[in-house]
Structure 1
Amino acid sequence: MRRTRAPTASQIQNPPPPPSSTKGGRIFKSSFGHALRGKTAGAFGPDLAKKLTQLVKMEKNVMRSLETVAKERMEVAHQLSNWGEVADEDVSDITDKLGVLLYEIGELEDQLVDRYDQYRVTMKGIRNIEASVQPCRDRKQKIMDQIAQLKYKEPNSPKIVVLEQELVRAEAESLVAEAQLSNITREKIKAAYSYQFDALREHSEKVAIIAGYGKHLLDLIDDTPVTPGETRAAYDGYEASKAIIQDCEDSLTNWITANAAGLDLSGQDVPMNDRGSWAMARSDDEDEEEEERADVMDDKEDLDSDDNRESVASSARVNGNGEARGRSKELII
């Protein structure tokens, strides 16, 4: 799974974005940088854009943290594999395979950073519009203040007429800017959080897939206690562990958003009775045949249930002499 691979079905359907801008050119790499961005964000710039500027900077801290987690997860995967290398055969094989799965999670977290950046960049678009609208508001407010001041000090000043004409133009410009801000805000907030939730959904479901196969790897370890001097049974799970890793890779490669809603991972968590009970993933044709058999059984059960309801309803309406008594009521099952 660590080797260079062809694009997955998800990447073909939704091409990955360019690498995140937060991955290079860092000035402050420590927690000091996090604190500095959190406290100074929004301290400068137009008032209208200050809150969103702070949000964008805080999300940058989130992305830095995700990047750190991804790198450290990959290092942990390597260390786990190194630690288990000198252990018994079963522990050595399983820790190596677990290292592969953990490394894959680290790569998924690294990909999440890139997709998360799409959300952040889109939110910056709203911030830029807010910053451009602020001067229109300021100009309109300034003219209104000047008119109010002149009417108080010089009620008959000819400048009042000129300023009122400027105010009309400023209000027209402000209306256009405010409408643009309203439209773009709604458009971009939907796009931005669609990027974020799509990225989180793909990441979470793929991690869940890896976790399910990881549990099956653990089932290959024989944890039956042995007495001193007793020899543990020879490990024979190499082929099963390879099959688990291959099935996991196939599941990740074939994952697409369209199939995510109906994905049921509960079956992965059923423990295996023995180390050799792992079965390779079934093909789509086999799954369709199983669904057809289930549909036939459901139809048969529905017919039997309808017959039983009719029999009960008839007996409820007819007495021992074959006479119908009372009102005919609909039987509710």
Structure 2
Amino acid sequence: MPRSSFDDAALMRLISRRRSSSHSDSLTDTVTAPNRNRAFSIRSGGSNKGSGSGGGGGGSKMGGFSLNSLRGTVQPELSKKLFRLIKSENNLINAHEAAGRERISIATQLSEWGEQTGDDAISDVSDKVGVILSEIGEQEDSYAHAIDDSRGYLKAIRNTEKSVQPSRDGKAKIADEIQRLKLKEPESAKLVVLEQELVRAEAENLVAEAQLTNITRQKLKEAYEAEFAATIERAEKQIILAKHGRRLLQLLDDTPVVPGDAKPVYNHSSQARQVLNDAEDDLRDWQPETDNYNTEGSGVAAPAAAPADAGTTEAKGTKAPELKVDDDVAEAATAL
């Protein structure tokens, strides 16, 4: 082998080795997120200093080619829009998780800044306010998990849409073939077979469409019921925390000091701890309110009112949708 080609090969191996080692070093240097903190102080004794995203908050993910990036292009037409919606919901979840991490990082930085001021009042109040802010950040993280749960209901609708699409396509394909044969070979014996297949396909499609309607209505209500409940919980708990945060601020004497006078003595440490105890008790005692909404004139009373709707429909002399589908299938089978 010529020396020039040997040198090129050795150089390429060296570059590859350096890239892999620098990548592993960057993974080792990654700072972990701060631990959940419900103590009287947010200060960590140096273990978590500089954590969070005071310098960027979580590493940005490099977007690249993957099988996941192709999923949107292979979705059936019926489920494409919901697929994009679910993907956008995932971006929303990531945003709330990032906001929670940022809030916790800011709370830590506030506490550390107050400690280095040398003012006992500022040091204690900023530390306790940092605890409140950190808990507000935790509420963002809990909210993100609740959105992820509601996203699961939308996935059930999307999966049902994907299962219905082949039924629609099959019915349309048979209908197109019948039209083509009628124009090209009106007397073809294949027409009778295709028309029988079309009847079967239409019967199967009726069942699939009824299932799609039922699942879509049920899961849509469940998805946004969960999201709205989580929104109310996050808002009410953050209001609780914000009110206790304002109580902490009242312990800080901001009376102007004349040059040369001593700073006012701070003697509210026990009161500040009590504020945090009260905040923790209020969060623990929080309970969701049960709201029963009634839509006037629609016959919809409660989320679990499907049997009542079916009974109301039968009282009007019309069969329930599921029974009508079964009759259509029976008629199709008789026609065959």
Task: Give TM-score scaled by structure 2 length.
Answer: 0.66
Residue 154 to residue 260, structure 1, CA distance change in 2 (3 Å): closer
Residue 228 to residue 37, structure 1, CA distance change in 2 (3 Å): farther
Q: What corresponds to 1:282 in structure 2?
A: none
* Structure 2 Cα separation of the partners of residues 209 and 102 of structure 1: 12
* Structure 2 Cα separation of the partners of residues 102 and 41 of structure 1: 39
Structure 1 residue 227 displacement after superposition: 1.6
Q: What corresponds to 1:219 in structure 2?
A: 250
Q: Is 1:188 aligned with 2:219?
A: yes
* Structure 2 Cα separation of the partners of residues 115 and 49 of structure 1: 23
Q: Where do 1:96-245 residues align within 5 Å? A: 96-245=127-276
Q: Where do 1:240-255 residues align within 5 Å? A: 240-255=271-286
Structure 1 residue 41 displacement after superposition: 6.7
Q: What corresponds to 1:2 in structure 2?
A: 37
Q: What corresponds to 1:68 in structure 2?
A: 98
Structure 1 residue 32 displacement after superposition: 5.8
Aligned residues of 1:2 and 1:100 also touching (Cα < 8 A): yes
Structure 1 residue 42 displacement after superposition: 3.4
Aligned AA (2:183): Y
Structure 1 residue 3 displacement after superposition: 4.5
Structure 1 residue 253 displacement after superposition: 0.6
* Structure 2 Cα separation of the partners of residues 171 and 257 of structure 1: 46
After superposition, give the CA deviation of every residue in 1:93-138 in whole Å (9 maximum; x if it has no partner): 1000011111111211111121111111110110000000000000
Structure 1 residue 232 displacement after superposition: 2.6
- Tell me the number of residue pairs that the alignment of Structure 1 and Structure 2 aligns: 238
Aligned AA (1:239): S
Q: Which runs of 5+ in 1 are unaligned?
A: 5-27, 262-333
After superposition, give the CA deviation of every residue in 1:218-254 in whole Å (9 maximum; x if it has no partner): 1111111112111232112112211111111100010
Q: Where do 1:246-285 residues align within 5 Å? A: 246-258=277-289
After superposition, give the CA deviation of every residue in 1:257-277 in whole Å (9 maximum; x if it has no partner): 03899xxxxxxxxxxxxxxxx
Residue 240 to residue 260, structure 1, CA distance change in 2 (3 Å): farther
Q: Percent of aligned pairs with the same residue?
A: 48
- Superposition RMSD in Å: 2.7
SS of aligned partner of 1:117: helix
Aligned residues of 1:37 and 1:57 also touching (Cα < 8 A): no
Aligned residues of 1:38 and 1:57 also touching (Cα < 8 A): no
Task: Give TM-score scaled by structure 1 length.
Answer: 0.67
Q: What corresponds to 1:285 in structure 2?
A: none
